[in-house]
């Protein structure tokens, strides 16, 4: 069985293709549907997300493309809303709730940059305490419950660069307790991860 792809990004945020190009690629791959999930506006880092003023244009373009491709492929309109983002205004089909940052004091640190960036954040912000870094990530992720997302995105993004336990010890009792507490909160939504 071929499943739809519901976690895609376009030129509206940090993707490289237009929505039309993505739809055409999905058709070529015989997907039954494609879902667009632009990164919703995040006030402290606009480098990866949609500009607030582009939201209406994004929704209008995808609505028009949905009609144009009706009968050829399903087109779903969504947003990936970071724990520290704003919930977009307008009509859309779904929300992916994710976390890409940890917050310490009044500063935000991207967990999705690189191994070196993660190590630097752990050393400089969390005084070398990788468990505290992971706890901050899972605490942030748990807050997406307030958006009532349809899907939870990359639950374990904090381990993206964790080859050979380079960042966090995933067997650490504190690490396990952090993800379990977050999972318990998010599982209450009854949505897929």
Q: In this predicted model, what pLDDT tens digit does every residue of 50-108 receive, in sequence order?
A: 999 999 999 999 999 999 999 999 999 999 999 999 899 999 999 999 999 999 889 99
Residue 93: name the closest of 53, 54, 66, 57 by CA: 66
Tens digits of residue pLDDT in 36-45? 999 999 999 9
- Residue 7 pLDDT more than 90? yes
* Model confidence band, residue 164 (pLDDT cutoffs 50, 70, 90): confident
| pTM metric for this prediction | 0.93
């Amino acid at each position: 069985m071929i499943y739809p792809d519901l976690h895609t990004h376009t030129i509206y945020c940090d993707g490289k293709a237009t929505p039309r190009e993505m739809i055409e690629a999905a058709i070529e791959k015989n997907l039954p549907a494609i879902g667009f999930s632009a990164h919703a506006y995040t006030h402290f880092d606009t480098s990866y997300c949609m500009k607030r003023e582009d939201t209406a244009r994004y929704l209008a373009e995808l609505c028009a493309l949905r009609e144009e491709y009706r009968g050829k492929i399903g087109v779903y309109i969504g947003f990936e809303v970071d724990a520290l983002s704003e919930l977009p205004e307008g009509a859309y089909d779904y929300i992916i709730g994710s976390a890409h940052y940890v917050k310490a004091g009044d500063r935000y640190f991207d967990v999705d940059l690189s191994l070196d960036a993660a190590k630097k954040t752990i050393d400089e912000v969390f005084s070398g305490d990788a468990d505290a870094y992971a706890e901050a990530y899972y605490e942030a992720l748990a807050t997406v419950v307030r958006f009532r997302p349809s899907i939870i995105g990359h639950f374990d993004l904090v381990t993206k660069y964790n080859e050979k336990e380079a960042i966090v010890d995933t067997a650490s009792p504190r690490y396990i307790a952090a993800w379990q507490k977050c999972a318990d909160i998010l599982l209450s939504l009854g949505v897929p991860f």
